Amino acid sequence: MNTALKKEDKWNKFKEGLKKNSFLIWTLLPGFLYIIAFFVIVAFFLLKLSLTSYNGGMTQESLTIANYLKLIESEEFRTAFVRTFIFVLITTPLQLVTGLIGAILINKKFKFRGVVRSILLLPLAIPTIVTTATLLLLFSKGGHITSLLMGEYPWFPKITQHEISFLNKESLALGISILGKVWRDTPISMLILLAGLQSISEEQYEAAKTMGSTTIQNFFYITLPLLVPSISSVLVLRSIEAWKEFIFPYILAPSYPVLGVLIEKYYVQMFDPGTASAIGVILIIVILIGTTVLNWILKKMQSYLVKI
């Protein structure tokens, strides 16, 4: 009797709460539905797919971890994983540095600042496929860079006798993918960091100046710690992008697949959506762990920089 009454009480309270916050609920509803449609449902089917094993497209078996076991045993997967990790470890900090340099540059007042800003934003305006195609033209067999180095242009000294096959050497092919990726995505990091820089009031630097703080000390004690939120956005966004990178390595380093390329291979070429999804799930987990670790490190760094 008593408990039933309590239950009713709770239910009434709940209804009252609904009424009170109905405006809030209605305004949040679209966002809520969006998350369900594009995240929860997608993630659910991805997980389900990754737990389904297709045997050569003929039979299928549900709720099995066979796909995962297959991947762990696969040499190709393990190499691709390490390759992707290296790709992430290089592109992410590199984009932070290039973005920071660009942001600091256009945060200063100088003549032609507008022009410089437009030039720095240009990579964003060029379709990725054009960028990759250009890199392919430059670096492929018989491409411009090779011709240049072999002295085929009169204005450039001959540097090498033999043709360098850029795209047939793992480190070079991946290096060029990284180059393209960094070049293309630097403007995004730059804009995020620029917004962060502009939110730091000039007076803080002035106060520090009267205390004798040098430009370098200003950077480490004021700019950097205050930029941590922006830096964290850049690193998180850029590292996620790098983990799931596809187009640059796909075009420029097809013989050295990263995880993104491997997914395409399993799904399209090998008709194995189960394994492809398993890679996707592994990527999501790795990204979640990666961003958590990253934020922890950044917090540590910030508190180290601002301690007395």
Number of residues that bind other proteins (CB under 8 A): 21
Calculate the CA 233 to chain-centre distance.
10
Contacts of 183 (CB under 8 A, 6+ apart): 123, 131
| Positions in 227-266 near other proteins (CB under 8 A) | 228
Indicate whether 67 belongs to the interface with other proteins (CB under 8 A): no
Q: In the structure encoding, which two tokens stand for residue 64, read together?
A: 């099995």
Binder of other proteins out of 213, 233, 291, 295 (CB under 8 A): 213
Of 278, 289, 258, 263, which is closest to residue 181 (Cα–Cα)? 258
Is 224 in contact with 214 (CB distance < 8 Å)? no
Query: Which range, of 13-21, 108-116, 168-176, 217-225, touches other proteins by CB under 8 A?
Result: 217-225
Indicate whether 302 belongs to the interface with other proteins (CB under 8 A): yes
Q: Count of CB atoms within 10 A of residue 226's CB?
A: 19
**Nearest distance in Å: CB 41, other proteins:** 40
**Nearest distance in Å: CB 113, other proteins:** 16
**Nearest distance in Å: CB 213, other proteins:** 5
Binder of other proteins out of 33, 36, 122, 207 (CB under 8 A): 207
Contacts of 126 (CB under 8 A, 6+ apart): 184
Q: Residue 284 and residue 119: Cα distance in Å, rounded?
A: 34
H or E element, residue 59? strand 59-61
Q: Residue 286 and residue 273: Cα distance in Å, rounded?
A: 20
Of 90, 88, 68, 91, which is closest to residue 78 (Cα–Cα)? 68
Q: Count of CB atoms within 10 A of residue 89's CB?
A: 12
Q: In the structure encoding, which two tokens stand for residue 90, read together?
A: 């290089």
Is 234 in contact with 246 (CB distance < 8 Å)? no
Whichever of 108 and 307 has its CB closer to other proteins, that residue is 307
**Nearest distance in Å: CB 200, other proteins:** 9
Binder of other proteins out of 145, 150, 208, 298 (CB under 8 A): 208
Indicate whether 160 belongs to the interface with other proteins (CB under 8 A): no
Indicate whether 125 belongs to the interface with other proteins (CB under 8 A): no
**Nearest distance in Å: CB 235, other proteins:** 18
Query: Which range, of 23-31, 234-242, 271-279, 299-307, touches other proteins by CB under 8 A?
Result: 299-307
Indicate whether 216 belongs to the interface with other proteins (CB under 8 A): no
Indicate whether 128 belongs to the interface with other proteins (CB under 8 A): no
Indicate whether 13 belongs to the interface with other proteins (CB under 8 A): no
The contact set with other proteins (CB under 8 A) reads 201, 203-204, 206-213, 217, 221-222, 225-226, 228, 302, 306-308
